[in-house]
Chains A and B, each alone.
Chain A
Amino acid sequence: MGTTTFTKKTLGLENGEPAVTPPPAPTAETTFVKKPKLAAGKSKKREIPEGLWTKCKRCSTMVFDKELDENLKVCPHCQYHFPLGARERIHSLVETCSFEEMDAEMLSADVLQFTGISTYTSKLADYQKSTGQKDAAITGIGRIGEHRAGLGVMDFSFLGGSMGSVVGEKLTRLIEKSTEKGLPVIIISTSGGARMYEGMFSLMQMAKTCGALAYHAKAKLPYISVLTDPTMAGVMASYATVGDLIIAEPGAMIGFAGPRVIKDTTQAELPPGFQTAEFLLDHGLIDAIVPRKEMKEQLIEYLDYLTVGMKQAAAAG
């Protein structure tokens, strides 16, 4: 087709990248059709003047990019949810100018001096350059409707959204600050799991974030976990799964072990729709599936309920 379809090049790392026992396998579900920014110079010149079109991964319809952006990266024809960057996600949720970012300058350190096929340092540099992000999560405090809340948003485009020390530390600080200020926490996850390049330090972020959430919960403050495509392995086995409410975007791939690993280990045929948001809902593992366009309103409504006790306590004391 004479249109610009950009299939994200598999560097071999994004999909199954960072994992905690065992790595999520690269599958069709996690290979995204991704549209680069208009400014990105790499795009091939095509005949089509002005603007770009993106082919929907699910229904193959060509969607005008402007339309896709206005639709929060959801296909207007089949409602397929394209990946959404952390900045765009925050923009779609918080009230204008209300987001105060925390630890914006925090960077990963190559503590293990990890060298594989390439070094961790060069990997980080590559991703910082290609994504314009410092790491795989953005945190801060913002206003959603009338609610001030701690908001942590992951970005899959940075090293597969993998959780290393920076993601763990930023989220922990966010949770701690929210506990201190008596604020709800919302974390929007998308991750292949823990970041291998930081070895055991990555694994420890699971304990660290869950520990911070333990004290946030003890203070009777609400935590809503939002699972987006994909949320796997170490992130799933830590903060993403201990929400007072756990909701997911439609079609998101969610699980602990990667499907290929499960298949290889058990030699079993995986049931249809295995490890999708819908599968999890049917098995009673998540509270609701919320389409992206309704996410903000739904979060506000949940917070309206979950903050009743906080308001009563504030009024009483």
Chain B
Amino acid sequence: MKNQLDFEKPIFELQSKLEELKKHPEAHSLGVSFEEEIQKIEAKLAETRKQIVSNLTAWQRVQLARHPKRPFTLDYLQNTFSDFSEIHGDRLFAEDRAMVGGFARLGEHRVMVIGTQKGRDTKENILRNFGSAHPEGYRKALRLMRLADKFGLPIITIIDTAGAYPGIGAEERHIAEAIAVNLREMMLLEVPTIAVVIGEGGSGGALGIGVADRVLILENAYYSVISPEGCAAILWKDRAAAPKAAEALKITARNLLELGLVDEVVPEPLGGAHNDPTAIGATLKQLLLNHLGELQKFPAAERLKQRYNRFRAHGHFVEKQPSPQPAAA
């Protein structure tokens, strides 16, 4: 079976066994009923899923976050939002299909949704540039954010990217500037803003649409300053050390919550979001509605202050040396 991860194997084995049993007629020619057996396997399947998912390593979660069947931004636009009306282009240079955005409904709310979009197959991935936006994507995102800000629409950004695109054109059209300006401008948006990391939160490319009043992350998503492979290549001199780097960088949803870097972890269906896109869509919808409701209680000035202080607080340092060290010259 394609699209299965190593650690998912026991699940798939049980699943195929189950399917085989179910294919048999109610009663076998020998008069044996499979009912009992099926129930046993189903129970075991649920147990296995639970066990595997609760014991995942950081690296395994990274793989889940990159799972080719994982719901992408446009899937959430169907399952969490409704009536998505896409708006294209940065009005400067191009339409970047790695970054989608437009009007949508979140329950009763009319909102602006902006997110990075990966492709499911090679053809789609070429169109979406594997979810890595060019400067035009970030500039389109900012254009849509300003549009939303002007007309009072809350902004939801959906993050799922390995990073901004490292290419010659991207550098020539100043990808660094596109991201930096977004960081600055998102801090000043007067409407409520929520960012959700649904899969990969790849560094500056993720943060480029990630400065918001609330930052949520899916249970098996990750958010990191550098890809585990990139970190491994630099610090371990070996990309194969990525699992170690993933651990050391503390990039899982749970790590980030503990470190106070995200506000809430969105629980995923057993085995990961790809096992039930509808369910995860509904869960996210409820959480977004909760956060949006809370944010709308504050006047804009108060929200801006809180947003500034939220990011202002990130960082750990020592103001003075704990004790004078006579050895240090």
> Residues on A close to B: CB < 8 A?
12-13, 16-17, 19-23, 103, 105-109, 111-112, 114-117, 165-166, 168-169, 172, 194, 196, 198-208, 210-215, 217-218, 233-234, 236-242, 255-258, 261-262, 265-266, 268, 270-271, 274-275, 283, 285
Q: Give complex CA distance A23, B237 in Å.
A: 13
Contact assessment for B225 and A20 in the assembled complex, using a CB-CB cutoff below 8 Å: yes
Residues on B with C-beta less than 8 A from A200 are 223-225, 249-251, 256, 259, 261
B:263-318 near A, CB below 8 Å = 308, 311-312, 314-318
Contact assessment for B250 and A199 in the assembled complex, using a CB-CB cutoff below 8 Å: yes
Partner of B315, one of A115, A208, A238, A242: A208
For the complex formed, measure the closest distance between the CB of A152 and the CB atoms of chain B, giving whole angstroms.
15
Q: Give complex CA distance A234, B208 in Å.
A: 11
Q: A20-B226, A241-B176 are in contact. Are A270 and B166 (CB under 8 A)?
A: no
CB-CB nearest 6 A-B residue pairs: A21-B163, A257-B166, A165-B315, A21-B203, A204-B314, A210-B183
Contact assessment for B235 and A196 in the assembled complex, using a CB-CB cutoff below 8 Å: yes
Contact assessment for B167 and A109 in the assembled complex, using a CB-CB cutoff below 8 Å: no
Task: Identify the closest chain A residue to B183 (Cβ).
Answer: A210
Q: Give complex CA distance A80, B37 in Å.
A: 78
Contact assessment for B230 and A23 in the assembled complex, using a CB-CB cutoff below 8 Å: yes
Judge whether B171 is part of the interface by a CB distance below 8 angstroms: yes
For the complex formed, measure the closest distance between the CB of A53 and the CB atoms of chain B, giving whole angstroms.
29
> Residues on B close to A: CB < 8 A?
162-168, 170-172, 174-177, 179-181, 183-185, 187-188, 202-205, 207-208, 210-211, 223-227, 230-231, 233-237, 244-245, 248-251, 256, 259, 261, 308, 311-312, 314-321
Contact assessment for A17 and B234 in the assembled complex, using a CB-CB cutoff below 8 Å: yes
Task: Identify the closest chain B residue to A269 (Cβ).
Answer: B168
Q: Give complex CA distance A236, B183 in Å.
A: 12
Partner of B225, one of A115, A166, A168, A203: A203
Q: A106-B318, A109-B316, A270-B168 are in contact. Are A23 and B180 (CB under 8 A)?
A: no
Residues on B with C-beta less than 8 A from A239 are 180
Partner of A199, one of B179, B202, B224, B311: B224
Contact assessment for A238 and B180 in the assembled complex, using a CB-CB cutoff below 8 Å: yes
Q: A16-B234, A165-B316, A238-B180 are in contact. Are A255 and B171 (CB under 8 A)?
A: yes
Q: A116-B236, A206-B183, A211-B312 are in contact. Are A285 and B177 (CB under 8 A)?
A: yes
Contact assessment for B235 and A208 in the assembled complex, using a CB-CB cutoff below 8 Å: no
Contact assessment for B230 and A19 in the assembled complex, using a CB-CB cutoff below 8 Å: yes
Task: Show 13 residue pairs from A and B whose CB-CB distance is below 8 angstroms, ordered by the A residue.
Answer: A19-B226, A20-B226, A22-B226, A165-B317, A166-B317, A207-B311, A212-B312, A214-B184, A234-B204, A237-B176, A237-B180, A242-B184, A265-B166
Residues on B with C-beta less than 8 A from A20 are 203-204, 225-226
Residues on A with C-beta less than 8 A from B203 are 20-21, 194, 203, 234
Task: Identify the closest chain B residue to A202 (Cβ).
Answer: B225
Contact assessment for B167 and A206 in the assembled complex, using a CB-CB cutoff below 8 Å: no
Q: A19-B226, A23-B234 are in contact. Are A206 and B207 (CB under 8 A)?
A: yes
| B210, B226, B245, B248: most-surrounded residue (chain A CB, <10 A) | B226
Q: Give complex CA distance A112, B235 in Å.
A: 15
Q: A20-B204, A207-B207, A262-B167 are in contact. Are A196 and B317 (CB under 8 A)?
A: no
Contact assessment for A213 and B184 in the assembled complex, using a CB-CB cutoff below 8 Å: yes
Residues on A with C-beta less than 8 A from B172 are 283
For the complex formed, measure the closest distance between the CB of A159 and the CB atoms of chain B, giving whole angstroms.
12
| A12, A168, A211, A274: most-surrounded residue (chain B CB, <10 A) | A211
Partner of A196, one of B175, B202, B234, B308: B234
Q: A203-B225, A207-B211 are in contact. Are A112 and B249 (CB under 8 A)?
A: yes
Task: Identify the closest chain A residue to B247 (Cβ).
Answer: A115
Q: A169-B315, A214-B187 are in contact. Are A262 and B168 (CB under 8 A)?
A: yes
Task: Identify the closest chain A residue to B211 (Cβ).
Answer: A207
Contact assessment for A12 and B237 in the assembled complex, using a CB-CB cutoff below 8 Å: yes
Contact assessment for A262 and B171 in the assembled complex, using a CB-CB cutoff below 8 Å: yes
Contact assessment for A207 and B316 in the assembled complex, using a CB-CB cutoff below 8 Å: no
Q: A266-B168, A283-B172 are in contact. Are A208 and B311 (CB under 8 A)?
A: yes
Residues on A with C-beta less than 8 A from B183 are 206-207, 210-211, 237-238, 242
Contact assessment for B318 and A107 in the assembled complex, using a CB-CB cutoff below 8 Å: yes
Q: Give complex CA distance A259, B227 in Å.
A: 17
Q: Give complex CA distance A261, B162 in Å.
A: 13
Residues on A with C-beta less than 8 A from B181 are 241-242
Q: Give complex CA distance A59, B186 in Å.
A: 46
Contact assessment for A204 and B249 in the assembled complex, using a CB-CB cutoff below 8 Å: no
Contact assessment for B204 and A111 in the assembled complex, using a CB-CB cutoff below 8 Å: no
Residues on A with C-beta less than 8 A from B170 are 256-257
Q: Give complex CA distance A115, B236 in Å.
A: 11
